[in-house]
Amino acid sequence: MTVAAPLIENPIVSAALVPPAWMAKAEKAAFDRIVIARKAAGNPLLSAEFDLLCDYISSRTRINALRRFLKREIAGAGDYAPSHRHVAALIRQVDTSTSLSRRLARELKL
């Protein structure tokens, strides 16, 4: 006789899963959209994924802010050399944040 392995964790009921208070309004809306989408796909979020989702939302917000900064810096850079270094640093930050966001999305199965 084989005994089924016990479930490690029960999925959180979507109604009980609320975004943290520190998130901005747009971030909370994105949080709710992802929770609803995962539940609709038959793959509700686990409590262990809560922090992962918060990190994903934060990384997407950071990417949007960095892209706005980068656009402004490129527009005002001209031929000023220190500005070029700053633009290059912003590009690296966007690339790093994008890579992190993609990894988190894969872990969240988005």
pLDDT in tens, 54-75: 999 999 999 999 999 888 887 7
Nearest to 73 by CA among 61, 90, 51: 90
Q: Helix, strand, or coil here: 47? A: helix
φ and ψ of 91, to 5 deg:
-60, -45
Q: What pTM was computed for the model?
A: 0.75
Q: 96 or 110: whose pLDDT is higher?
A: 96
Of 32, 33, 98, 35, nearest to 65 by C-alpha is 98
Q: Looking at the predicted structure, is the pLDDT value of residue 15 above 80?
A: no
Which pLDDT score is estimated for 29? 94
Spatial CB neighbours of 87, under 8 Å, sequence gap ≥ 6: 70, 73, 74, 77
